Amino acid sequence: MLPVSIDISDFVQTWSLSIQETELFVNNVLDEVGQRFYEHWYNEAGNSLKQTKREYQRGLYVEKPSPDSIIVGLVGWLPNAIEQGLQPYDMKEGFAKSSKRKLIFRKNGVGWYLTIPFRHGTPGIVAESGIFSGIMPKQVYNVARKVLRNGSSLMDSQLPAEFQIKGIRPEVVNTITNQVFKAYQHKSSIYQGMVKSNKEHHGQYVTFRRVSDQSDPDSWVHSGFTAYNLMGKSLDNFPIDRIISNIKEEFIRNR
């Protein structure tokens, strides 16, 4: 959040505004500037983002904490990670603290595991964004639509050959901590085991992946995000002077 100050002292003095008129004018300026910047930022996100667009836009808000200030801000982990950038990190550290994890009692101690669902949107539809969601390729969707019935799951051999390949996450470095996460090859195709769920009365294509205290140290590393700085970009081309000038003209006309 960047502080922006609006000086109206010259206008108040030139037109000899009373206290009540000044308060009304300030209120008009804040409401109009706040709403217009919200819309400007919202549209910037819509033009710049794809899959994460909806969740980012849902994180935008307008708040008026006092009569002489207004806040246009962004809430939510994912929206702020997109906005500010995110260094690579080990997701297992968060999974280990999840309230949904299951405990495993072993001879040498207590371990844990957690099942992570991955949602796959159909081609041409913007999926609900998130760290564990994406849009499946049309070739995969064509197969899934035909074979996933009555609780069946998608086998690796049913996938087009180019999607049977086990993906590789390249080596990434956290430039703040200098921690190096080595390249990692997945154990199977990301589409293997896909099922069609009818949860909430509409079809969802989902795969599941298990993580535990025994998982490979490099298997659950998030590669991070490059900062989009959409707020800064929005502010750079926001016509605040023109907006305030229009408010002044309208205020005087209606005085």
Question: Do 227 and 85 contact (CB within 8 A), yes or no?
Answer: yes
Residues 6 or more apart whose CB falls under 8 angstroms from that of 194 comprise 120, 144, 148, 153, 154, 205, 206, 207
Both structure tokens of 23:
């308060």
Is the predicted pLDDT of residue 152 greater than 80, yes or no?
A: yes
Region of 128 (left: φ > 0; alpha: ψ -120 to 50; beta: rest) is beta
Q: Helix, strand, or coil here: 184?
A: strand
Kindly tell me if the per-residue pLDDT of 202 is higher than 80.
no
At 121 the pLDDT is: 86
Query: How buried is 41 (Cβ within 10 angstroms: 0-12 exposed, 13-18 middle, 19+ buried)?
Result: buried
Structure tokens at 214: 């025994």
51 — pLDDT class (breaks 50, 70, 90)? confident
In angstroms, rounded to a whole number, what is the distance separating the alpha carbons of residues 22 and 24? 5
**pLDDT 10s digits, 157-191:** 999 999 999 999 999 999 999 999 999 999 999 99
- CB neighbour burial string for 73-92, b if at least 16 within 10 angstroms, e if fewer: ebeeebbebbbeebbbbbeb
Q: Given the DSSP bridges, would you call strands 180-181 and 172-173 parallel, antiparallel or unpaired? A: antiparallel
Return the minimum-mean-pLDDT range out of 91-100, 128-137, 192-201.
Answer: 128-137
In angstroms, the Cα distances linking 214 to 98, 169, 181, 187, 192 are 16, 19, 17, 14, 21
> Average of pLDDT values for 54-70?
95
Q: Is the pLDDT of residue 128 over 60?
A: no
- Average pLDDT of the segment spanning 149-158: 89
